[in-house]
Structure 1
Amino acid sequence: MTPAPVPPSGPARTGHCQCRRVTYRVLGDPIDPHLCSCPHETRISGAPAVLWVGFDRAGLTWTGPGGEPTWYATWPTLRRGFCPRCGTHLVSVADDSDTIMVTGFSLTDRSGTDPVGHSYRQEAVPWMTIALA
């Protein structure tokens, strides 16, 4: 018999959508905070880049009255969670990953989430200047 996964320990952070119907809690330290400017990401967000912050998937709990977000497959092995009420993009998770990525600005406390990388930097709009941690 395989033991059940042990949720991570460490600091707890909370986050929410714009209307606060879908809220969450994540445990542990941020993993790989980074910006992404791929054409896929910029079209979904309507922004020149999205700040992604990873956390151990086992440490994620949906806490609000709206429960889990509405899931949408944006790639064959990638799902994204959106609030069904206000449309806020909250999370992204690959099917085979133990890490869940939350949108950095959905977090209530963004300390320690300065981006350490910039995916698809060459695709970024030319007027955007990035300073990485």
Structure 2
Amino acid sequence: MTMTAGYSGGCQCGAVRYRTAGALGYPHLCHCRMCQKSSGNYALPLGSAQRADFELTRGEPSWFHSSDLVRRGFCGTCGTPLFYDIPGTAFINVTLSSLDEPTAVQPVAQSNLAAKMPWFHALDVLPMEPDEDGSDRASSIRLSNHQHPDHDTSTWPQEKRHD
């Protein structure tokens, strides 16, 4: 089944890509300890896609059963968290930050607030670093970037250009 509407996304290295049609249900930030540990972050943004509207377009995720009821899909090559799945349900949750356009889906709620970092409210007043500088280090990172672009590609890994 080929889908053209909806959302596409994938892991950092491009080994696993997915596409979903239609809106993502209940986009939210989960603050539970399992989501924190699985993402290596303070919260995990998730949204649900109907299985009938979901397809893997490249590769296969690796899975970890974080409980008897839930498994979490991630790229076995680069480790990017991609899915929160409850087998047997009509939906699968995707990590909103793995979308090619993560700004397209704004969370509407937060869950499991008991584990939310108590200082989250203070983040906006922290000193801010410039987005990107012209330093040699920033230039070296930019020129040696191995991250998959935020769109589908016909091949993976991309062939190296010989300029």
TM over 0.5: yes
- In 1, Cα distance between the equivalents of 2:89 and 2:26? 14
1:50-65 counterparts in 2 under 5 A? 50-64=44-58
Unaligned ranges ≥5, structure 2? 123-163
Question: Could you give the per-residue CA deviations for residues 27-60 of structure 1, whole angstroms, max 9, x where no partner exists?
Answer: 1111000000111111221211110011111211
- In 2, Cα distance between the equivalents of 1:62 and 1:112? 20
1:40-51 counterparts in 2 under 5 A? 40-51=34-45
Secondary structure of the residue aligned to 2:121 is: coil
- Give the superposition deviation at 1:112: 4.5
Choose which of 22, 25, 35 in structure 2 pairs with 1:28: 22
- In 1, Cα distance between the equivalents of 2:4 and 2:13? 28
Give the structure-1-normalised TM-score. 0.83
- In 2, Cα distance between the equivalents of 1:82 and 1:48? 18
Compare 98-107 and 118-127 and name the one that shifted more: 118-127
1:115 matched residue in structure 2: 107
- Give the superposition deviation at 1:111: 4.7
Secondary structure of the residue aligned to 1:19 is: coil
Q: Percent identity?
A: 35
Give the structure-2-normalised TM-score. 0.68
- Give the superposition deviation at 1:106: 0.3
Matched, 1:129 2:94: no
Unaligned ranges ≥5, structure 1? 1-6
Larger helix proportion, structure 1 or 2?
2
2:74 matched residue in structure 1: 82
Larger Rg: 2
- Number of positions where the alignment pairs a residue of Structure 1 with one of Structure 2: 121
- In 1, Cα distance between the equivalents of 2:45 and 2:75? 18
